[in-house]
Amino acid sequence: MPDLGPFVIAGLSTGAVYVLAGVGLVVLYRASGVLNLAQGALGALSALLAWQIADSGFPQWLGWIAAVAASTALALFYGRLIAPRLAHSDPIVRAVATLGFALIILGFCEFIWGEWPRSLRLPTDTVSFALLGVRVTATRAIAFGLGIAVAIGMMLFLNLTRLGLSMRALANDREISGLVGVPVLRVDAWAWVISGVLSGVSGIFLGNMVRLQVIPLTYMVIPAVAAAILGRLTSLTAVIIGGLVIGVLEAIASPFPEVAAYRSATPFVVAGLALLWYQRGGLTLSRMDQFRSVATSHQPPNSLWQELRVGIVLAIIVAIAVPYLASAYWLKTFTGVTIIALCSLSVAVLYAQLGMVSLCQYALLGVGGWVALRLYHGFHIPFEIDLLAGGLAASVFGVIFGLPALRMRGLYFALITLMIAAAFQVFISAIGFPDGGPGWSGKVYAGARQYMPHPPLAPSDAAYFRYVVGVVAIGFALVMLVQRTRAGRAWALIRRSEPVAVAMGVNIVAYKVVAFAIAGFFAGVAGALMAANIGQLDGRAFPASDSIMMFALTVIGGAFHWSGPIFAGLLLRAVPGLLTDWHIDGNLATMVFGAGLLHALITAPQGVSGQVVALGRTIGARLSAAMPKLMERKL
């Protein structure tokens, strides 16, 4: 048994920073109903700003002040100007909108600073003392003290001060608080200020104690969310205990080689278990009718045959034309676009049919890819069977891990999927994808990696493109079909309002499971297709951020029309290629996508596809109105 003392001490101080960040999330959520997923991005910006100012030769304290001031100002900006536009939306929408803000900040930081390894030194790093025979730096001691002090301070603040009372009132009911004279916007603004200060401070500590890189810091919000989930997004006491427990568990896994590689998955596993515990109380019905719900398509559904016809014609044209027109590079890219469109479809099904936000579909794509690769290398069975097995595996995996949250409010489902994505990132980068090696993981550690070829039915790149278009077209057709069955009608009822669906006999959890299973299946199939497109998959290429991007682009593309996922595929796979061709920094695209997500959530819920469809209708209507006149003129 190794000596765990040092790890416990290290874990307590990291845990205290999770507490600090988690307290920021909970205070803001309680006061304004927004779960600020941009908190990590704000922290990253602060840490880098503090580094930049010190690096430019200014005194360090100036950097800290400027960093916290910047994150506070940005939080206030979002809270005062953008958040109120969504104040009456569903909590899920308000939470995912902050992802748009996060992407903007993330793109900006990457654009300015890039991913160079840096380190943020604090003067307290050199001061240390011994505790239980362990050397503790003053930084860690301060982080611990501050985390606990802030959490306790916030509890007292919320319970004892007038402003704290107003915040609690706001959390209970915005309208009624306004009616009884609580200055809603001002209280809201204070909550955002607190959140901004705490993100800045926790960002500086994490930048020092974890590492000073934009993407890891941005996604440090995920363990903070895990700590917040332990407190059901409301209890500060539970956040303190939860944050510390997560920090310690994560750290004491280090000396055990069997689990050390997976230790960063601790927060997500703990949060998942907590949700499993919380949902035991039974089904919680979301009252969609209280909120302007996620946005509904009000267009009359076209007949199935009408939609299928358009789709089939389009698929045939694309399948014939693209291989003739595109270069080898672009052909591969368009194969990628088509595969991503299928994954985006899986996000769209959940979002458009049920208002469910899944932030793990790209991870499920990885699961499908892993299983397909493993089966191919292990048994050399026909690719079509790999494809189905990949789909089924992703489907089962998604359902098993998503199930705890399916009985709870929609926001929890979004959060558990975020946990799944984050945990998958940890596991897959440790395990890697099979490439013909021995053992259950099928990984080659020494020697040449093996590749998965295109299926025998479609050996060339052009043929494989057509193969993929065919598979993806079948996926789209299946979704259109299911929408018109009993399941589709049940989904529509659940969307309308969960109590109504229950009163009409719908088993809500069962139909959500069905939807999540279908979505997981498509993501998994997409993963198998992707594996055979590239020949292999890279374990480091499945960060949680890609699943978030997948969601954002699906909303931007438009989840309510079949063309939306195709736009999403183009944005995600073709646009980066174009930008490289044009020598434009790809981080600008991240910022544009972030702004696009906010725009889509606030003013254009139907996304790009909705606007294109509306434009097509307008042109059609104008043409048919103008036609008789033109005919007359000719006569």
Partner 1 sequence: MIEIRSLTVQFGGVRGLNDLTADIGAKITGLVGPNGAGKTTLLNVMSGFVKRSVGTVKVDGEDLLRIAMNLRAAFGVRRTFQTEQVVENLSVWNNVAAALDNVPTGGRPRRDVIAEALDYVGLARQAERVGASLNASERRLVEIARCVLARPRLVMMDEPGAGLSESEAEHLRKVIVGVPDFCGAQVLLVDHDVDLISATCEETLVLDFGSKIAFGRTAEVLKDPKVRAAYLGEVVDVAA
Asked if 300 touches partner 1 (CB under 8 A), the answer is yes
Side chain identity, residue 456: P
Residue 398 makes CB contacts below 8 A (sequence gap 6+) with: 360, 364, 367, 420, 516, 517, 519, 520, 523
Least CB distance from residue 290 to partner 1, whole Å?
10
In whole angstroms, the minimum distance from the beta carbon of 239 to partner 1 comes to 25
d(CA 553, CA 337): 13
Distance of closest approach, residue 288 Cβ to partner 1, in angstroms: 10
d(CA 118, CA 104): 22
Q: Does 172 bind partner 1 (CB under 8 A)?
A: no
Residue span binding partner 1 (CB under 8 A) among the ranges 104-112, 177-185, 235-243, 501-509: 501-509
C-alpha 253/C-alpha 443 separation (Å) is: 24
Binding mask 57-86 for partner 1 (x = CB under 8 A): ------------------------------
* 19 neighbors 48 (Cβ within 8 angstroms): no
Choose which of 66, 87, 326, 502 interacts with partner 1 (CB under 8 A).
502
Contact string (CB under 8 A) for partner 1, positions 278-297, x = contact: -----x-x---x------xx
Tell me the closest approach of the beta carbon of residue 490 to partner 1, in angstroms.
Answer: 7
Measured from the CB atom, is 213 or 293 closer to partner 1?
293
* By the rule CB under 8 A, 150 interacts with partner 1: no
Instruction: Please select the residue that binds partner 1; options are 426, 493, 525, 544, rule is CB under 8 A.
Output: 493
Q: Is 504 in the site for partner 1 (CB under 8 A)?
A: yes
Given candidates 168, 232, 263, 489, which one binds partner 1 under the rule CB under 8 A?
Answer: 489
Report whether 15 contacts 224 (CB < 8 A). no
Which one among 121, 292, 496, 599 touches partner 1, defined by CB under 8 A? 496
- Applying CB under 8 A, does 437 fall inside the site for partner 1? no
On whether the CB atoms of residues 148 and 240 are closer than 8 A, the answer is yes
Stretch that binds partner 1, among 264-272, 417-425, 430-438, 492-500 (CB under 8 A): 492-500
Given its phi and psi angles, is residue 316 left (phi above 0), alpha (psi -120 to 50 degrees) or beta?
Answer: alpha
Could you say whether residue 176 binds partner 1 (CB under 8 A)?
no
- Give the separation between CA 61 and CA 43, rounded to whole angstroms: 17
**Residue with Cβ nearer partner 1 (128 or 296):** 296
132: left (phi over 0), alpha (psi -120 to 50) or beta: left
The smaller minimum CB distance to partner 1, of residues 299 and 611, is found at 299
Could you count the other beta carbons within 10 Å of the beta carbon of residue 1? 5
> Judged by CB under 8 A, which stretch of 240-248, 342-350, 418-426, 498-506 contacts partner 1?
498-506
Among 339, 469, 508, 591, binds partner 1 (CB under 8 A): 508
User: Does residue 152 touch partner 1 according to CB under 8 A?
Assistant: no
Q: Which of 497, 579, 595, 599 binds partner 1 (CB under 8 A)?
A: 497
Using alpha carbons, list the distances in angstroms from residue 243 to 224, 314, 453, 487, 583: 8, 52, 46, 40, 43
| Phi-psi label, residue 458: left if phi above 0, alpha if psi -120 to 50, beta otherwise | beta
Which residues have a Cβ under 8 Å from the Cβ of 267 and sit 6 or more positions away? 18, 222, 223, 226, 227, 246, 250, 419, 422
Instruction: Answer yes or no whether residue 52 interacts with partner 1 by CB under 8 A.
Output: no
Name the minimum Å distance from CB 560 to partner 1. 9
CB of 94 to partner 1, least distance (A): 22
Question: Is 54 a residue that touches partner 1 (CB under 8 A)?
Answer: no
480 binds partner 1 (CB under 8 A): no
3-class DSSP state for residue 537? coil
Count the residues of the shown chain that bind partner 1, applying the rule CB under 8 A: 26
Q: Based on the shown chain and the rule CB under 8 A, indicate whether residue 503 belongs to the binding site for partner 1.
A: yes
Least distance in angstroms from the C-beta of 507 to partner 1: 5
CA angle 584/588/590 to nearest 5° reads: 130
Query: Candidates 74-82, 211-219, 500-508, 519-527 — which segment interacts with partner 1 by CB under 8 A?
Result: 500-508
CA 173 to chain centre: 28
| 506 forms part of the interface with partner 1 (CB under 8 A) | yes
- Residue among 510 and 584 whose Cβ is closer to partner 1: 510
Say whether residue 505 binds partner 1 (CB under 8 A): yes
Q: Is 200:42 a contact under the CB 8 Å cutoff?
A: yes
215: amino acid identity, one letter? I
Task: Tell me the residue type at 43.
Answer: G
Shortest Cβ distance from residue 445 to partner 1 (Å)? 52
5 touches 133 (CB < 8 A): yes
Q: Which residue type, as a one-letter code, is found at position 468?
A: V
The CA-atom distances, in angstroms, between 183 and each of 154, 163, 190 are: 20, 10, 11
Backbone angles phi, psi at 127, to 5 degrees: -85, 130
- 298 interacts with partner 1 by CB under 8 A: yes
By CB under 8 A, name the one of 507, 580, 611, 618 that touches partner 1: 507
Contact, 548 vs 443, CB < 8 A? Answer: no
The dihedral built from the CA positions of residue 289, 295, 298 and 303, taken in this order, carries a sign that is negative
Stretch that binds partner 1, among 92-100, 202-210, 490-498, 615-623 (CB under 8 A): 490-498
Cβ 537 vs Cβ 370: under 8 Å: yes
Cβ(449)–Cβ(127) below 8 Å: no
Here the tokens at position 67 are: 């960093």
Question: Is 135 among the residues that bind partner 1 (CB under 8 A)?
Answer: no
Shortest gap between Cβ of 342 and partner 1 (angstroms)? 24
> 556 to 595, contacts with partner 1 by CB under 8 A?
none
* CB nearer partner 1, residue 135 or residue 484: 484
Among 299, 306, 460, 611, the residue binding partner 1 under the rule CB under 8 A is 299
Q: Return residues touching partner 1 (CB under 8 A).
A: 283, 285, 289, 296-301, 486, 489-490, 492-493, 495-497, 499-500, 502-508
